[in-house]
Amino acid sequence: AQSVSQHNHHVILSEAASLELGCNYSYGGTVNLFWYVQYPGQHLQLLLKYFSGDPLVKGIKGFEAEFIKSKFSFNLRKPSVQWSDTAEYFCAVNADTGFQKLVFGTGTRLLVSP
């Protein structure tokens, strides 16, 4: 069975600090990887995704993530966070089985202080 681990449950940063959120998954086959964000009071939105090609993917709002197959990791990064990045971030895996079934990590709550 697939599983996703997000080791940082709560992160507090000051504006302009750099961000890296860890995500590791457990699955031996081909996977498609996603980062979703949930801003306060809003629904889940896609930040970025990876399914093939360049392992460094860029998403919206200056976010990027790197897929490292050997480490089963898909860490999210942003060089300089803003107060508006305060949200909950979810890493998710969809095994390449032809079905739609996202397995989510437990989420990381990011608080950016101005």
Partner 1 sequence: KAGVTQTPRYLIKTRGQQVTLSCSPISGHRSVSWYQQTPGQGLQFLFEYFSETQRNKGNFPGRFSGRQFSNSRSEMNVSTLELGDSALYLCASSPRDESTDTQYFGPGTRLTVL
Tell me which of 53, 54, 70, 100 binds partner 1, using CB under 8 A: 100
Would you say 23 or 81 has its CB closer to partner 1? 23
What is the contact mask toward partner 1 in residues 15 to 44, using x (rule: CB under 8 A)?
A: -----------------x-x-x-----xxx
Tell me which of 18, 45, 80, 82 binds partner 1, using CB under 8 A: 45
The yes or no reply on residue 104 touching partner 1 (CB under 8 A) is yes
Beta-bridge partner residues of 87: 110
Q: What is the DSSP string of 23-75?
A: -EEE-SS-EEEEEEEE-TTS--EEEEEESSS-SEEE-GGG-EEEEEGGGTEEE
